[in-house]
């Protein structure tokens, strides 16, 4: 079954929590806009939570409990959500957060970060999937990925930092033409205001990212979250202690990677310029 038509196992639990938020809000005689203003979030955030389209995260649950005088009912509901509710189906929840984020910090050691991919590179990535995807599935996924490309060029883009393993830039996914197009694109991205790209060179004796890739983000409400993917799933991390560990890893990775000027020089070298 295609991932976008597969029923989300966590949908009923998310809707239940959303209905609770809506009921408590109405009992407090507040509109969605009024509650959003008091909670210091966007009205769309409250609307999406009440509709079951967006999970209620712990920090916001505690804030709403205080504002609505609900005796920790929402915090308790979030803490006891089924574990699957912490894993967004096919990264849909992460992509919502990515588009709204104030800041993104992305470490990748297997493939170019989605926001830096060209259309042909993305197509080459999806063609390597096992089991093989149909041509229709590949094109649908490529289109969805390309729809994210404007994030770095928005009127108010996020502050974005990328640390990429040199091995990613050595692989020739899709062949030489796709490879050179990808390198030129990454080199151009190093010139985007607010975007920092650093390469983690091969041959290091220490490496803070051996446990795998991850993404850190800061929401408009200044909540810090992390996102990780595995072979068969993905996880949105909101626990402050776990996010802190990944933030410390990222800080160490930035000291171990090439600086901005060295990264540009390596890309120019790979491009033969």
- Contact criterion met (CB below 8 Å) for 146 and 116: no
Indicate if 58 and 99 belong to the same structural domain.
Answer: no
Query: How many Å apart are CA 74 and CA 18, to the nearest integer?
Result: 10
CA-CA-CA-CA torsion sign (94, 96, 99, 102): negative
Indicate if 248 and 191 belong to the same structural domain.
Answer: yes
Range of the domain at 80: 11-85
Query: What is the DSSP annotation of 40-86?
Result: TS-HHHHHHHHTTSSPPPHHHHHHHHHHHT-TTHHHHHHHTS-GGGG
Buried b (16+ CB within 10 A) or exposed e, 125-154: bbeeeeeebeeeebebbbeebeeeeebbee
Of 41, 63, 85, the residue at which a domain comes to its end is: 85
Indicate if 36 and 171 belong to the same structural domain.
Answer: no
pTM over 0.75: no
**161-193 pLDDT, tens digit each:** 999 999 999 999 999 999 999 999 999 999 999
Domain count of the fold of the chain: 2
Residue whose structure tokens are 């796709």: 178
Lowest mean pLDDT segment, chosen from 73-77, 87-91, 139-143, 173-177: 87-91
The strand pairing partners of 217, in sequence order, are 104, 225
Residue whose structure tokens are 């020739």: 172
pLDDT grade, residue 214 (50/70/90)? Answer: very high
Indicate if 178 and 208 belong to the same structural domain.
Answer: yes
For residue 88, the model assigns a pLDDT of 44
Indicate if 100 and 169 belong to the same structural domain.
Answer: yes
Of 63, 85, 107, the residue at which a domain comes to its end is: 85
Indicate if 105 and 227 belong to the same structural domain.
Answer: yes
Indicate if 209 and 77 belong to the same structural domain.
Answer: no
CA-CA-CA-CA torsion sign (14, 19, 24, 26): positive
CA-CA-CA-CA torsion sign (112, 115, 118, 120): positive
CATH of the domain at 19: 1.10.260.40
Indicate if 106 and 36 belong to the same structural domain.
Answer: no
Indicate if 57 and 108 belong to the same structural domain.
Answer: no
């Amino acid at each position: 079954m295609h991932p976008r038509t597969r029923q989300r196992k966590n949908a009923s639990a998310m809707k239940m929590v959303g209905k609770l938020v809506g009921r408590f809000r109405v009992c407090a005689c507040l509109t969605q806009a009024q509650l959003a203003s008091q909670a210091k979030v966007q009205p769309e955030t409250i609307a999406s939570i009440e509709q079951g389209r967006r999970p209620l995260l712990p920090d916001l649950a505690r804030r709403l409990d205080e504002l609505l005088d609900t005796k920790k009912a929402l915090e308790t509901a979030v803490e006891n959500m089924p574990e699957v509710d912490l894993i967004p189906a096919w990264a849909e929840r992460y992509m919502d957060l990515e588009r709204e984020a104030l800041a993104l910090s992305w470490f990748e050691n297997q493939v170019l970060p989605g926001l830096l991919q060209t259309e042909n590179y993305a197509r080459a990535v999806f063609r390597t999937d096992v089991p093989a995807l149909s041509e229709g599935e590949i094109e649908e996924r490529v289109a969805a990925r390309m729809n994210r490309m404007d994030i770095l060029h928005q009127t108010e883009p996020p502050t974005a930092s990328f640390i990429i393993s040199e091995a990613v830039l050595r692989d020739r996914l899709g062949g030489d033409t796709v490879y050179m197009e990808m390198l030129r694109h990454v080199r151009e991205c190093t010139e985007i205001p607010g975007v920092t790209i650093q390469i983690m060179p091969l041959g290091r004796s220490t490496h803070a990212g051996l446990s795998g890739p991850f993404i850190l983000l800061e929401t408009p409400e200044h909540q810090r979250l992390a996102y990780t993917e595995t072979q068969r799933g993905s996880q949105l991390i909101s626990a402050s202690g776990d996010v802190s560990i990944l933030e410390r890893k990222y800080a160490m990775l930035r000291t171990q990677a090439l600086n901005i000027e060295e990264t540009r020089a390596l890309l120019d070298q790979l491009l033969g310029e």
